[in-house]
Amino acid sequence: MIKILIIKLGALGDVIRTTPILESIKEKYKDSEIYWLTKKESKEILENNSHINKILTLPYNENNIFDILYNFDIDEEATKLALNIKANKKYGFYYNDGYPSTFNLSAEYYLNTLFDDELKKNNKKTYQEMIFEVAELPYKKQLTMIYLNENDKKYAQDFIGKNNIKNRNLIGIHIGASSRWPSKSWHESKIKEFIKKLIEKNYNIILFAGLNEKDKQEKIIRELNNEGINICYNDPSNSMKQFASLVGLCKIVVCSDSFALHVSLALKIKTIVLFFCSSPDEIEGYGKLKKVVSPLLYNFFPERMNEYDEELVNSISVEEVLNAIKI
């Protein structure tokens, strides 16, 4: 039995889009036992995955010895773990005198894209392609994975009943993104205009938000209610799997480059993504994705991704997104 450890601690969306590596590992090492080390908040999204034998969460205090270790994160915590955990063969990144370094030559390209703005701007490889390159495994567009249990599915059905949704012509609109990138999300005025146009076309709406967008969600709903428009919305404090179960109800999901994107693609939902300041080329679409790219994107990506700019978040029109829905 080959004992394998994957380290992926990072953002929830990145955890989801790293899951395709599991299929390739199992294909190469059929008699293997896979451990996945992540943060506690990411554990739920990995649960019920038959390829994972054990999910480990930080803090990591075990003394396991592995045959193979894959570390796909470059932050200090992950790279120090990768350096110190015992394994016969290691791929990816380790801590080296204050900086991330690579165990294997094939990991250097991905690392360089994170520090070389020009390479980042010109890179045409998807995140999945680069991660498979790091692991020295063949990339065949293996799918991302989320597994919903019966309680998750019941949560979604209860939501339908509670909101009296008879027409399942549902469009999910996710209004948030990581606070680290304040210009990733569409402007509120555009979101409201978009919702009004969709209602005119007899779509039902679920307005998705996380805890960071709770106030923004409430504001949009209140302002629409004042105009006599009522829409469905999720509970921003719902669990990740509950969130995913509601995404699974949708015919189409419209979102930014965010957690919702990766959930939607993992559930094989048609997804329309608005790119304002992050790379559209790094996102694997699996035949389900329509990319709507701001004409200002390369004024900000990658050097000014962390800036908020009013013109930028208004730079994609409602008509462009409506047209994307028709395709």
Q: Which of 51, 245, 21 is nearest to 148 (CA)?
A: 245
Q: Last residue of a domain, which of 101, 135, 169?
A: 135
pLDDT band for position 327 (cuts 50, 70, 90):
low
Q: How many domains does the chain have?
A: 2
Is 143 within a domain?
no
Here the CATH number for the domain that contains residue 126 is 3.40.50.2000
pLDDT of residue 10: 77
Same domain? 131 vs 275 = no
Is 141 within a domain?
no
Same domain? 112 vs 208 = no
- Sequence length of the chain is 327
Mean pLDDT of the chain: 96
User: Quick check: 290 pLDDT over 90?
Assistant: yes
Q: Last residue of a domain, which of 135, 159, 183?
A: 135
Same domain? 24 vs 96 = yes
Is 77 within a domain?
yes
Instruction: Kindly report whether the peptide bond that precedes residue 182 is cis, defined as omega within 30 degrees of 0.
Output: no
Same domain? 221 vs 291 = yes
Helical segments of 64-146, H only? 76-84, 108-115, 117-122, 127-135
Q: What percent of the chain has pLDDT over 90?
A: 94
The residue to which tokens 């462009």 are assigned: 320
Same domain? 185 vs 321 = yes
Is 316 within a domain?
yes
pLDDT tens digits for range 97-147: 999 999 999 999 999 999 999 999 999 999 999 999 999 999 999 999 999
Same domain? 113 vs 205 = no
Rounded CA gap, 193 and 214, in Å?
19
Same domain? 174 vs 57 = no
Rounded CA gap, 291 and 248, in Å?
20
pLDDT tens digits for range 4-25: 999 999 789 999 999 999 999 9
pLDDT tens digits for range 73-91: 999 999 999 999 999 999 9
E strand spans, the chain = 2-7, 32-38, 54-57, 65-71, 86-96, 99-102, 170-174, 204-208, 232-233, 252-256, 270-275, 289-293
Is 142 within a domain?
no
Same domain? 258 vs 320 = yes
Is 10 within a domain?
yes
Please tell me whether residue 120 adopts helix, strand or coil conformation.
Answer: helix
Q: Last residue of a domain, which of 102, 135, 168?
A: 135
Question: Distance of alpha carbon 7 from its chain centroid, rounded?
Answer: 17
pLDDT of residue 179: 81
Q: Which H helix or E strand runs over 97?
A: none
Is 145 within a domain?
no
Helix, strand, coil: what percent of the chain each, to 5? 40, 20, 40
Same domain? 196 vs 123 = no
| Domain residue limits at 219 | 150-326
Same domain? 125 vs 156 = no
Same domain? 107 vs 162 = no
pLDDT tens digits for range 178-230: 888 899 999 999 999 999 999 999 999 999 999 999 999 999 999 999 999 99
Is 171 within a domain?
yes
Same domain? 119 vs 80 = yes
